Amino acid sequence: MSDFVSDFWAWYVGLIVIASVIGCLLLMKSQDVPTDEGKELDHRWDETLVELDNPLPKWWKGLFYATVVFAAGYFLLYPGVGSYAGLLKWTSVGQHTAELKQADERFGPVLAKYAGMRIEEVAVNPEAREMGKHLWLTYCTQCHGPDAGGNTGFPNLRDGDWIWGGSAEKIKETILGGRQAMMPAYGGQEAVIGGPKGAIEMSHYVMSLSGMKHDPALAAKAAPKFIQVCSACHGAEGKGNQALGSANLTDRYWLYAKGADAKSVQESIVETLVKGRGGKMPAQADQLGEAKVHLLAGYVYGLRSEGQPH
Ligand code: HEC
Ligand code: HEC
């Protein structure tokens, strides 16, 4: 509620909450009218179903009053009425912080044990892998997938093919500091790759690098441009440069293609050339701290040996 610039909305919400609870009570009270128990009213359905002028059942009313009492108790103890904080002073942030503190106290010593171990050893330690997996599922799945298999735009981390380097140290560096890739957009620079036609030609050349199906005549037209423009980052043979995170174009692994078929691949290459790409791996140093990143680096490093082809 502290986000509100004036007290007005706090009062507004608070009054609505209190008025609704009192309203429920009054509604219930208004049903407490004398009835003529057993008397048949004028409603009849399906010939035998009749409505009697009976009072509402006691247990039902009791339940209803109980909810009102519960609401009153709840609003006294917990925040809910405007900006009133509640007697227990509970906040979701407070609970979260307390849980984090508890977890740190519990896991701190274990984390410290692994922080002193080499990443290669962490990678094969079953207990460390179990913890790494928990961290993975909490912080990394949403982009890389639960099995680290990746997704369009988010790299597969279990295929042994590394954009930024697959040594234990490089992996840790990636997770700690994050990575920002920069592939220029050539869509607005007709002269550089020769406009939309040039982009198509270049896509055939790029596909030829990994031996995919392509048109050799179109590819040949783009070959000199590749050396002129692209080799600075991707290398003359298109093998990429891990210092820049520039893709290896010869391995048939396409970060941005929606499928492995030639059509999807070509479409994604043309889109890359026209719009550029800026894949970003967010830095985890601040959020997770060195010790947890160390465990994660071990977990990721060990993914390759989990029986997947690479
Ligand atoms: C300034 C360096 C630089 C230049 C010049 C450059 N690229 Fe790139 N390229 C990159 C980087 C970095 C990436 C990775 C982008 C990412 O991960 O988001 C990339 C990605 C790509 C991809 C996507 C690969 C995939 O897996 O989906 C293709 C295709 C590509 N570049 C082709 C080219 C071609 C063709 C040229 C020349 C016209 C070129 N690049 C010029 C740096 C460069
Ligand atoms: C918001 C999405 C996002 C989250 C969350 C995320 N990543 Fe990434 N990660 C990326 C992207 C995008 C790249 C590729 C960047 C590029 O284009 O080069 C990447 C790249 C990587 C790489 C480098 C892969 C290579 O081939 O060199 C590693 C390792 C990695 N992530 C590990 C992790 C771990 C561990 C976590 C959990 C702490 C994590 N990532 C969470 C988006 C994410």
- Residue range 48-82, pLDDT digits in tens: 888 888 888 889 889 989 999 999 999 999 988 88
> Which of residues 178 and 60 earns the better pLDDT score?
178
Q: How far apart are CA 7 and CA 90, in angstroms?
A: 20
What does the pLDDT average to over 294-305? 92
- pLDDT (tens digit per residue) in 90-144: 999 999 999 988 988 888 888 889 999 999 999 999 999 999 999 999 999 999 9
Mean of all residue pLDDT scores within the chain: 91
Ligand 2: residue whose CA is nearest its atom 17: 279
- Specify the pLDDT at position 295: 95
For residue 309, what pLDDT band results from cuts at 50, 70 and 90? very low
70 alpha-carbon distance from chain centroid: 37
What is the number of the ligand 2 atom nearest to the C-alpha of 277?
A: 17
Q: Does 142 contact ligand 2 (Cβ within 6 A)?
A: yes
CA of 144 to the centre of ligand 2 (A): 7
Q: Mind listing the pLDDT tens digit for each residue in 235-283?
A: 999 999 999 999 999 999 999 999 999 999 999 999 999 999 999 999 9
- The Cα–Cα gap between 216 and 219 comes to 5
Nearest CA to ligand 2 atom 10: 281
CA–CA gap between residue 169 and residue 120 (Å, rounded): 10
Going by pLDDT thresholds of 50, 70 and 90, the confidence category of residue 5 is low
Q: Is 280 in the pocket of ligand 2 (CB under 6 A)?
A: yes
Separation of CA 39 from chain center: 62
